[in-house]
Every structure is written in structure tokens, then in C-alpha cells.
Amino acid sequence: MDDVQASAPVKQRMPFAAQVQGILIAVMLIGLVMIAQRQSLTLYRIGLPLLIVAAFLQIAFGNIPPRSGFRRSLVLLIVTWAIVAVIFFISVQLAPDLIEASR
């Protein structure tokens, strides 16, 4: 008889981007619970910004491939935020001209 040892399955870690997406979803749920409760205004004041920040980060991480590692996720996050900043800046610059043109 052969004495074959069954090798234990190798436990692989989830990629960084997938971990962050899971964490952000949990944080958003916690933020929702914090703003939905009616007992504490302090929890509401903590929960609302928590939910907003987590939602904005989830928008960015939702567009990052889940298999991305730390470095690639960070680069793509910075690129996403740079694109958002440029669009925001252009919008602020164009708003007065568009308002004037509509009069």
C-alpha cells in the first residue's frame, strides 16, 4: 500500500482590490445602519460622512479590476480621482458661461 498524503489545499489570498471592495461594501452597510438609527445624533454625524467617503471610494474601486494587486489598485485609484478632479474643475469653470448663455 502506498502511503500517499493528501496535500492540504493551498489557501490563496484574495487580491487587494477584491478585499477593498468587500470592505467598502461592509463600511457602506455600517454607515447606512448608523444614519438609519434614531437614538444617537452622534452616530448619525459619524455615519453620514462614513457613507459618503465609502461610496466615493466604491465608485473608484468598482472600476478597478478585482484581481488587481495593491500597486495597480493604487495607481488606478489615483487615475480615477484625477479624472474626477479634472471633470469637476472643468464643470466649475464652464458653469458661469453656460448660465450666461442660457439667459
In the chain, how many domains are there?
Answer: 1
User: Measuring CA to CA, how many Å separate 38 from each of 8, 41, 51?
Assistant: 49, 8, 17
In a domain, residue 87? The reply is: yes
Would you say residue 4 has pLDDT above 60? no
Would you say residue 42 has pLDDT above 60? yes
For the chain, what is the mean pLDDT?
89
pLDDT-above-70 percentage for the chain: 90
In a domain, residue 2? The reply is: no
Domain of residue 54 covers: 16-102
In a domain, residue 4? The reply is: no
**The pLDDT value given to residue 52:** 95
- At 38, the pLDDT band (50, 70, 90 cuts) reads very high
In a domain, residue 3? The reply is: no
In a domain, residue 72? The reply is: yes
pLDDT digits (tens, 9 = 90+) for 68-91: 889 999 999 999 889 989 999 999
Alpha carbon 64 to chain centroid distance?
10
**pTM of the predicted model as reported, rounded to 2 decimal places:** 0.70
